[in-house]
Homo-oligomer: A and B are copies of this chain.
Amino acid sequence: MAQRDPLALEQQLCFALYTASRALTARYRPLLDDLGLTYPQYLVMLALFDRGPLTVKDLGQALHLDSGTLSPLLKRMDAAGLLRRTRSAADERSVVVELTETGEALRPRVREIPRTVFRELDTPLPDLIDLHARLTTFLGKLD
């Protein structure tokens, strides 16, 4: 009776993901608070740092979020002066999102955040790499 109930296990996997996700983002929170960012807003910053101006649709595909989540989130980041939203001239349906100078100026501090979290984590890097790889494989099955 190595595993008494594989179904309970599957349940536990979902719960473990749910718990681990919240616990790890909680580690980011105090650092993000210093920059006035939430975790999803931080993800938007990373996407714009890496890829330059993006449409709302692009951001949605990158972060797996829909306009119901992104529209108000981007509106808040716009109000905070971090980014600009402008209707695309080529296609008036699209809205292009790009960082302002204020947003761009946060780049070094934002990039320092995962470094700090990792330092405080006390987990060997190979373990993180391994976990990430297995999660990615698993995610592939969930499309």
Contact = CB atoms under 8 A, between A and B. Distances in A.
Given A11-B113, A20-B138, 19 more contacts: A6-B128, A7-B111, A7-B114, A7-B115, A8-B114, A10-B117, A13-B131, A13-B135, A14-B24, A15-B43, A16-B132, A16-B135, A17-B24, A18-B25, A20-B135, A23-B142, A24-B142, A122-B141, A131-B134
A121 B40 CA distance: 27
Nearest to A46: B11
A27 interface: yes
A24 B20 contact: no
9 contacts: A6-B118, A7-B114, A10-B117, A11-B114, A13-B131, A18-B39, A24-B142, A127-B134, A131-B138
Nearest to A113: B11
A134 B138 contact: no
Contact of A118 (B10, B111, B117, B128): B10
Interface in A85-143: 111, 113-115, 117-118, 121-123, 125, 127-132, 134-139, 141-142
Stoichiometry, copies per complex: 2
A68 to B, nearest CB: 14
Interface of A is mostly: helix
A71 interface: no
A9 interface: yes
